[in-house]
Every structure is written in structure tokens, then in C-alpha cells.
Structure 1
Amino acid sequence: MKPIPGPRPSELRELTRVEDRVTFVYLERCRIHRDDNAITAVDEAGTLYFPAATVAALMLGPGTDISHQAMVVLADAGATVVWVGEEAVRYYAHGRPLSRTSRLLTAQVDAVSNQRSRLAVARRMYEMRFPDDVAESATMQQLRGREGARVKRGYRTAARDAGVEWNGREYRSGDLEASDAANQAVTAATSCLYGVVHAVVVALGCSPGLGFIHTGHDRSFVYDIADLYKMELAVPTAFSVVAQNPADLPSAVRLAMRDRFSETKLMTTIVRDIRGLLGDDVDDRDWDVVELWDGGHNTVAAGRSWIPEDDDLPW
């Protein structure tokens, strides 16, 4: 038999864990290829090199041209490739996840498909954000109302601390410049946050669309998780950049968010929080198996024949 062409696929244990990777790399108006296991990005300024296995999400903006070989090495490394709009403020599509087990996805489906467990996860999300303001007897409607009031105060406080004028959240989809500088910065900051959270969600094998608080959107779970960090991380960072009055506001916000992601070790936090919310604390680096369902919560090994010895088969 002829050998399979191309390099040997990496074993899961050889890859860098998602929480240990660089949060994201945003590229636009360049040609992207590979050099061994490194990704190269070429534009008029020169060539940028970075190892594929160290990146959680590669965000491809307008004018990018990526080769088949670059996608091969990124897929093998488990890096999520996300196609985005100008300044990374719109999401279009993403590539293969890092995880090779469906264990967390199964836990997510189990929790979201039962009203009692879904409410329990949603309540834990609110408790993580507002630990002093979530009564056990509160309904979802009451929790949502309290969240709205807390978020509104959070915007005002962050704007006051940064010395930025704030007249409320205004955002017109597809038209970033229709908003004032503070709203533009918040939009750019939250877009970066959504991109990183989305990368971690799919890297862990979860479904971006199965949310507990948000629903009906293909990124509902992304919004659920991103909300855990938005008011403490994205909004203050956005306002602090606005106060500096940079020439290129969206770019300055992206760079500031990248630094904050690194300083706060956000990737590690997201992985820990998703596993905690879904009740899973098992290290999945060695999970690269396919099993067969055997009824209930039981499984058996795949890759073998399971014909009972006493079956009277017609062939």
C-alpha cells in the first residue's frame, strides 16, 4: 500500500493546550502560507512568522489570501481560523476545533435541554457576575432586570473613571462610524472578546449556538460566556483607550484588548469557567477515541465487530 502523502498528523498530547496559547492574531491585506509548522504572513512591510500551534484563533480580515497548506497546518494544530470583517468587528465563519472529544458538548446538550438544569447554569452565570445580588428565589425575569440595572451602572462608572463622556449604548450593525468614539471602542473591544471566547468554545468542542441565557442565535453560548468578562475587562479597556484619543481607535482598542487578555490569563479563565458551568473537570488531553453508545450512559469501544456469538444471521 502506498504511504499517505504529507506530514504525519499531530497526536493530541503533542499540541499546546488552548489555555496556554496566544489569544488571537488578526491579519488583513496579506498572503498567508506555511513554512514547516510556522505560519507566514507576507505584505509590503515584510514577512511575519509565528508557530501555528501557539495560536488559539487566527482572525482573517479583508484582503487576506490563505493557502491550502496554511490551512492544513492550522487544522492539524487545532487553531481556530475565524473569518471576520473590517477591524475584526464582524464574524463570518470559523474552522476546525481543537477538541477531539464530545464530552463537554454532551454535557452542554444535557444541561440546556432540561429546564431545571438550564436555569441552574443560568443562575450560576449571574452569580459569577453579581455574587451579592442573586437570590435563590429570583426568577429569570428578575435576574434579567437586575442585570440590566447593574450593567447600566457599570457603563457609567467605567466612563466616569476614564474621564469619558457616555450617553448610553448605541450600535448600528454594519456601520461602526455611525456611533460616537466611546461606542465605537466598546464595539471593537467586545468584538475581540467575542472572537476569543468563540475560539475557546469551539476548541473545547462545545456548541456556540446552545446558550443558557441567550438563545436563538448561532453564537448564543459565546455571548453567555463573554458576558462574564465584558463589564470588568472589555468596557474599562475601551474607555481607557478613548481617553487617550488615538489616531486609529479600533486598532488601538484591539492592541489594548490583546494586552489585557494576556495580563488576565483570560484563556485559562474561560476554559475553567466553561468546565465549571458544565460540571466537567476531567483533563481531556488524552481523549482521542471513538466509542459506540450502549444505552443509558454506557459506551463500548468502536473499531471492532459486535456480533453476538448466538445470533442466527441470515448471511
Structure 2
Amino acid sequence: MSARLRVALIGGGQNCEHEVSLASAASVRAALDPARYEAVPLTILRDGRWLGPDEEALGSSAADSLAAALAVLAGCDVVLPLLHGPRGEDGTLAALCELAGLPCAGSPTRAGALTMDKWATKLVAEAVGVRTAPGRLVTEAEAAAVLFDGPVVVKPVAAGSSFGVCLVETEEALEPALRAALALDDRVLVEQVVRGREIDVAVLDDPDHGRRVGPPLEILVAQPLFDTTTKYDGSAEFVIPAPLTGTESKALTEAALRVYDALGCRGLARVDFFLTAEGLVLNEVNTMPGLTAESQVPKMFAAEGLPYPEFLDRLIRSTPGLAR
């Protein structure tokens, strides 16, 4: 192994979060300490082909370029898959690395698959005593039979960045919302609206200090829903640390760790809650949240004195099987 660790940074992906992933990959590449790491950038195009470190196509087909990409990956010490959403964050890349015997940062295959599936996440959370929003699973065949009985949130089971998520407040809006969500996934969730403060909790398996939970972050938005547009137009305000009582902070931390462990997460995860008058409600879990310097998780750890480059160093070094 060379004096510097060769880190494969994989960005892009075959889903609606392609551009978000590219932003994370570019930001991480620019921030990695060049004295410790040699970045080896790889990009997965929307059609499944891979681009190599020189941004040239590695093959004329998805299968050919994957074979060539594996040869590049084999020359790296560790893989950091900066893919958000299906065919990446859902454990796909972790499984590829596991089959190839490559150390891969972040959560393993099972945790990625479970957390990307919002229905499975709900079942696991409820099983360990963490409340989620009441709701039902709907397939294409059942969509026409769904009745409007009050405000609901409709969302694809497996998608990120709030793509396909819609707040439905009238009967007329339900059918279009279901169709929009079903365009992204063959299963959707129809959940009762939860009124509460949006609080995020970040968990990092710090190789130097053990597992740590960053300062909680509160999301303040003018709209009733923290949707895709609001997530990326700069209008949302992040308050770090969120103004919480000691009891509230303790409950959120304990719930986040309980869900993190039950899902089998590793390395890093952002656990999102609603804090209501009746207590906390789990919203979702992200095993590879946005990782630009301005994203929520890096800002949370920076607020307690862990700068972005050092945060990335801890995440990479938390990888099992990594020769240090």
C-alpha cells in the first residue's frame, strides 16, 4: 500500500438524485487531505456506463464499463460510494464491493437495502419502540381504491431528496400524487400528516473516539413540506444545535441509536424525526446523506469542532477491513 490511501470516489448513479450525488462527490474530492489521500474519481452515468478518473467512458456498454471499473477499483485501498438513492445507497454498491473483496465505507448491503425501503424502516423502527407516522403501503393495483380521509403525505417507498413526495390536502389531489410517486417506484406510502418540528440526528462511527452523535439540527422552512425544491434552493434554515430540552435531546439520541443499530447501519447515517407535542416520530433514515460541505451532516459535526476534511477522514477510516 502506498503512503497515501487511494480512495475511489463514486458519484452519479442511475436515479433522480444523479446531480445531487455528483455535487457530493465533487465536494468530497476537493476536501480530502492530499497528504493522506489520493482521490480516484469514478462516475456512473444515467445509462449505467462508468466514467474513469480521466472522465473518459470505460466501455461502450454498462456491462463492459463495469468490468473496467472493477479493475480500477481493485487498485484502490477503499471505496467511498457517494451515491444517493436506488442503485447506490440501497446497498447495491456495498454488495458489489463485498463480492469483489473491496473495503467499502458506510453501511453494509442489508442496512442500505432496509433504510432505502421506507416501509421496511417503519416496521423495524416500530419493532424497537420508535414511533412512525400511521400509514399504508400502496401498489399500482391498489391505487384506484385509496380513499381520501384527510391530509396525507404520499411518497415513493424507495427514493430520496423528496423526489415524488407530495402533501395532499384535497381529494382531487390524491390521484395525481399517487401517479407521480408510482412513476418513481412500484410501491408508495400514504401516511398521515405529522405536525411537528423537523429535527435531524447524525450518527458517526468515529474510529478515534467511538460512536458519536452530532448536535441535533432543526430545519426551518416557510412551506408546509420540506420538498425537493426547498432542499436545494437555499430557502431552508438550519439551526445547529436545535433548541431542545435535555429530555428531548436525550430521547432523540436514544431513538436514533436504537434505529441505527436495529437497521444494521455502519459508518454514518442521518436519522430524521418530527418532534411533536406527543413525542418524537421517525421520518426516515439516510445511510448516505448529502455530503457537500454545506449539507446537513457535515455542518452538524463542524458545529461541534470536527471540520469537514477531518469528518471525511473519520468516515473513511471507519471502514472495516481497511489497512491503516
Q: TM-score, normalised by structure 2?
A: 0.30
Greater per-residue strand proportion? 2
The structure having more radius of gyration, on CA atoms, is 1
